[in-house]
Amino acid sequence: MKIRRNVILVMGLFLSLALAFTLMSCATTDQMTKLEKQVQQASQDAKDAKALAQDSSQQAKQADAAAVRAENAADAAAASAQKAEDMANKAEAIFNQQMKK
């Protein structure tokens, strides 16, 4: 009988602790509302960050395209400058040749 009484006492203690733990760990409605608001705010922040990242990505692509166009324009300007220099050298050669005659 003594063992049975001890088992019942231990089980009662265990159930009391489990009940106390369960009651202590329950969140109040106010806490749940605050948590829900925080989750919604975090979700909105994540959506805003995603939109900004996509916008930045598009701007980066546009900047890359502009850099390519600028590089092509610089190459064309360098080619034009070289052509102008070559033509000036030809004109100088013709002028010098005409002056020798």
Amino acid (1-letter code) at residue 84: A
Higher pLDDT, residue 94 or 23: 94
Higher pLDDT, residue 36 or 100: 36
DSSP letter at 30 equals: H
Confidence of residue 47 (pLDDT cuts 50, 70, 90): very high
- Angstrom distance (rounded) from CA 9 to CA 1: 12
What pLDDT was estimated at residue 73? 95
Q: What is the pLDDT of residues 55-88, one digit of tens each?
A: 999 999 999 999 999 999 999 999 999 999 999 9
* Tally of domains within the chain: 1
Phi, psi of 16 (to 5 degrees): -65, -45
Classify residue 47: in a domain, yes or no.
yes
Question: 44: domain range?
Answer: 40-101
For the chain, the helix, strand and coil percentages under 3-state DSSP, each to the nearest 5: 95, 0, 5
Say which residue the tokens 């608001």 belong to: 37
Classify residue 34: in a domain, yes or no.
no
35 touches 27 (CB < 8 A): yes
What pLDDT was estimated at residue 36? 92
Residue 28: is its pLDDT beyond 80?
Answer: no
Classify residue 75: in a domain, yes or no.
yes
For the chain, the average pLDDT equals 87
Classify residue 16: in a domain, yes or no.
no
Classify residue 10: in a domain, yes or no.
no
Classify residue 15: in a domain, yes or no.
no
